[in-house]
Amino acid sequence: MKFMSSLALAMCLCTGIYMTGCETSHSESDKPGLFGGNTHQETTTTKNPVTGDVSTTHKEQKTP
């Protein structure tokens, strides 16, 4: 019986980690260029609350 209780507790804890999920924030901006054109920037930041890891992705696209 003790083994079954331990197994049930472990399953509950594991599903709790998957239900927490990651926190994601996203921002976009458009700026006019100095000699015409446009610059589009996107930044996405993802934080894993379980491990504390933070990853940031930055994209910049320039059009003539």
Q: Choose between 7 and 27: higher pLDDT.
A: 27
Task: pLDDT band for 3, please (50, 70, 90 cuts).
Answer: low
Is 5 domain-assigned?
no
pLDDT of residue 52: 87
Is 59 domain-assigned?
yes
Which domain covers residue 35, as residue numbers? 28-64
Asked if residue 64 has pLDDT above 60, the reply is: yes
Q: Give tens-digit pLDDT for 15-63.
A: 555 556 788 999 999 999 888 889 999 999 999 888 889 999 999 999 8
Number of domains in the chain: 1
pLDDT of residue 15: 54
The pairs formed by 19-27 with CB atoms below 8 angstroms and a separation of 24 or more are: 20/49, 20/50, 22/46, 22/47, 22/48, 22/49, 23/47, 23/49
